[in-house]
Structure 1
Amino acid sequence: MINSPFLRRPTSVRRVMGEVLLALLPALAVYVWLFGIGVLVQVLIASTAALVAEWVMLTILGKPRALFLGDLSALVSAVLIGLAFPPIAPWWLVFTATVLAIVIAKHLYGGLGQNPFNPAMVAYALMIVSFPALMSQWPGSGQLDAATQLGLIFGSDRVVDAITSATPLDALRTGLHGAGASVASVLKGHAFGVLGGRGWEWISLAYLAGGLYLLARRIITWHIPVAFLGVLAAISAIAWLANPQSFATPWFHVASGGALLGAFFILTDPVSGATTPRGKLLFAAGAALMTWIIRTWGAYPDGVAFATLLMNLCVPLIDMKTQPPVFGHKKS
């Protein structure tokens, strides 16, 4: 018979980050299956840049390098950047983005635990604003062999219009700009599958599997994923029911872009995200609303990165207003 007291093992940063890396492996495998080894190359470039930038900053700041390099937090940011960037993006784009994420978004604010913004989303936002053409060059599923991908990543010839295709969200946005176009007619295109983009549905399922693993391991709680996906689905469902010719279905929004990546791996960042139970619900709901608004009327097809950064600004106020009363004290 098991008797009390029940003691929990202390949770280390290394263990949490290691579990997150394990949860990202299914998505990484599906990316390689769909797009080829370019994704692995981008993850390796980002990981190298992250570790080098982390080592340099720790040396400058006089912090113990072995301790902080071993917590795996830099590698988590690197893998997220590698998955978010196009598989054939030039190497310097991924390298520069990762260095900026580690140096500016992380260490200039005091290092792990002090950064108000998610480093991976800072990198993505900076690059998509600065180099929108390069950030939109996604190859079609199974179109490019390994040698071609390596040549595009490390070479100088970037004439890729004939071998790249729009992401599902971008294809929907572009299609709706046509005269007399409707969502139903656009979604009949070859870029779309049953729920979202053709092939991208498998990536979304992989993120979902990784997210459920994190929930089962109690690395994250249910509040942010449920609130984000629930509000995103609810808002898009209302718009779709009101005008199905102009607005996409709720399942398309949930299964496309970075919705599931954001719900389980980005917004759940314990440093830049809300920390109280009610705060997590408000934080995720606000991010879902901003994501839908940016996707529908903004200048970029996917809004998860910008929505995350905008809601990161609100975290101090959200946490302050949603703190539960201290045990034994009345709430003023």
Structure 2
Amino acid sequence: MSKMKNGNLIVSSAPHVVAPVNTSKIMLDVCIALIPAMIMEVVVFGFRALALTAVCVVACVLFESVTRKLLGRPDTISDLSAVVTGILLSYNLPAGLPFWMAVVGCFVAIVIVKQVFGGLGQNFANPAIVGRIVLFISFATPMTTWVLPKSQQTVDAITGATPLGLFAKGMDVPSNMDMFLGFIGGCTGEVSAIALLIGGVYLVIKKVIEPTIPVCFIGTVFVFALAAGLDPVFHIFAGGVMLGAIFMATDYVTSPITTKGKIIFGIGCGLLTMVIRLYASYPEGVSFAILLMNILTPHIDNLTRLKLNGVPAGGDK
């Protein structure tokens, strides 16, 4: 490609592709896809959940802006990635979590995981996932105090167990339909499977994500649960499988590039999730599973990258 600049002919190498897609448009589509779950968090838990989301978004944007200035880097809040991180982090939190704790999670996600490593595209793991795990380990009691849906709250009880918590204790669990619709206890943005599914379909139609990772992730959970003699639909709708598979495991930066890599990544997430759920001390394993697979992503890419004929594996050395 050749072009004139200040009277000089500038020649650049191929390929020359001009596309209307950029980071801010992709992130805007993700925000739009997250709206159904945002509506459901208000319906199920009330405006306290929406306020928590707003606090996380504002905190993430402010942390990103201030950190970029302190590090002498260009401001990047217009790319909306900090907004997406704030929404996703809030969706992984109980509706009653104190706001200041949520802000701590935002600091970890934006400053420690994202900006310290260079900003968007340089982070080794999904920022919202790490923020959630740090909060879970640091504030175990508030992070496992689940607000009941408004329809189930009484004078004597406004908190209760999640479906996975009830399952771990061998107690009766909600119906699959209740979990599909979202009228259960849990993190604010993970309870309604149908809301998350609507968002996922939107992202696939807009070609923001490929269905490979979500299908492999959810499919592995289904097969594992079936093989273990459990209700596979329950394990798909309960906890963070739908939220994690559609919105967090598909993160461009921390998931594999190749199709084979995506398949391995999705299956790995599903396997680790079920192993943690059934055999570890935690009733939920989605966040830990995605984090572990994020760490393995560079190795998965190396193992599955396209080998060109006549080119040694180490490049042109």
TM-score (norm 1): 0.82
Q: Which residue in the other structure is 1:298 paired with?
A: 280
Q: Which residue in the other structure is 1:199 paired with?
A: 183
Match of 1:217 among 195, 198, 206: 206
Is residue 234 of structure 2 the alignment partner of residue 252 of structure 1?
A: yes
Which sections of structure 2, spanning at least 5 residues, go unmatched? Answer: 1-16, 185-189
Indicate if the aligned counterparts of 2:45 and 2:150 stay in contact, CA closer than 8 A: yes
The alpha-carbon deviation at position 194 of structure 1 amounts to: 3.7
Q: 3-state SS of the aligned residue for 2:39?
A: helix
After superposition, the C-alpha distances for 1:167-224 in whole angstroms (9 at most, x for unaligned) are 11111112x2xxxxxxxxx33x5x4444748624971111011001100110001210
- Pairwise mapping of residues 52-71 of structure 1 onto structure 2 (< 5 A)? 52-65=62-75, 68-71=76-79
> How far apart, in 2, do the equivalents of 1:101 and 1:39 lie?
19
> How far apart, in 1, do the equivalents of 2:143 and 2:61 lie?
23
Q: Which residue in the other structure is 1:312 paired with?
A: 294
Indicate if the aligned counterparts of 1:46 and 1:98 stay in contact, CA closer than 8 A: yes
Q: Which residue in the other structure is 1:83 paired with?
A: 91
Counterpart amino acid of 1:282? Answer: I
Q: Residue 8 and residue 252 in structure 1: after superposition, are their counterparts in 2 closer, same or farther (change >3 A)?
A: farther
Q: Residue 208 and residue 323 in structure 1: after superposition, are their counterparts in 2 closer, same or farther (change >3 A)?
A: same
Q: Which residue in the other structure is 2:162 paired with?
A: 167
Q: Residue 109 and residue 330 in structure 1: after superposition, are their counterparts in 2 closer, same or farther (change >3 A)?
A: closer
The alpha-carbon deviation at position 10 of structure 1 amounts to: 3.4
Counterpart amino acid of 2:183? Answer: G
Q: 3-state SS of the aligned residue for 2:282?
A: coil
- Pairwise mapping of residues 1-332 of structure 1 onto structure 2 (< 5 A)? 9-65=19-75, 68-142=76-150, 162-174=157-169, 176=170, 186-187=171-172, 189=173, 191-194=174-177, 196=179, 199-200=183-184, 203-240=192-229, 248-326=230-308, 329=310
> How far apart, in 2, do the equivalents of 1:43 and 1:76 lie?
10
Indicate if the aligned counterparts of 2:213 and 2:265 stay in contact, CA closer than 8 A: yes
Indicate if the aligned counterparts of 2:45 and 2:149 stay in contact, CA closer than 8 A: yes
Indicate if the aligned counterparts of 2:176 and 2:234 stay in contact, CA closer than 8 A: no
Q: 3-state SS of the aligned residue for 2:199?
A: helix
Q: 3-state SS of the aligned residue for 1:109?
A: coil
Indicate if the aligned counterparts of 1:196 and 1:253 stay in contact, CA closer than 8 A: no
Count of residue pairs the alignment pairs up: 290
Runs (4+) of structure 1 exceeding 6 A deviation are: none
TM-score (norm 2): 0.86
The percent of aligned pairs where both chains have the same amino acid is: 36
> How far apart, in 2, do the equivalents of 1:109 and 1:202 lie?
32
> How far apart, in 1, do the equivalents of 2:144 and 2:301 lie?
36
Counterpart amino acid of 2:275? Answer: I
Counterpart amino acid of 2:135? Answer: M
Q: Residue 196 and residue 239 in structure 1: after superposition, are their counterparts in 2 closer, same or farther (change >3 A)?
A: farther
